[in-house]
Amino acid sequence: MAEIAKKPPMAEIRRVRDWAQQKIQAGSEPPWAWYQYMKLTEAVDAILQGMNATTTANLPQSAGREGKRLQLVEAKSRQDTAQLHHVEPKVRMPM
């Protein structure tokens, strides 16, 4: 498991895609598995396209925020006093 963490994320994602492609090309998988490998391949392609489309060049660096941490705060209103909302609208039945 430690070996996986050392590889760059894109290389590992491509390795998964190559594995799925090999399974598809082997032609020995049942139809349900073939379909799942195709979906996996398409999902990996979409992830890689998204990763290539994004950039961190203009994003502020997190180094300036090292001292700031998120903090839990108390709710300002109690849950038991909140107004209830009907999930389904009332339907008037014809008489």
Q: Identify the H or E element spanning 45.
A: helix 31-53
Q: Identify the H or E element spanning 67.
A: none
**CA–CA dist 43, 86 (Å, integer):** 38
Among 25, 47, 50, residue whose Cα is nearest residue 38: 25
- Token pair, residue 48, equals 């890689």
Q: So what's the pLDDT on residue 86?
A: 66
Q: Which band of pLDDT confidence, cut at 50, 70 and 90, is reported for residue 95?
A: low
Q: Which band of pLDDT confidence, cut at 50, 70 and 90, is reported for residue 1?
A: very low
Q: So what's the pLDDT on residue 74?
A: 78
pLDDT (tens digit per residue) in 29-65? 888 899 999 999 999 999 888 888 876 666 666 555 5
Q: How many residues does the chain have?
A: 95
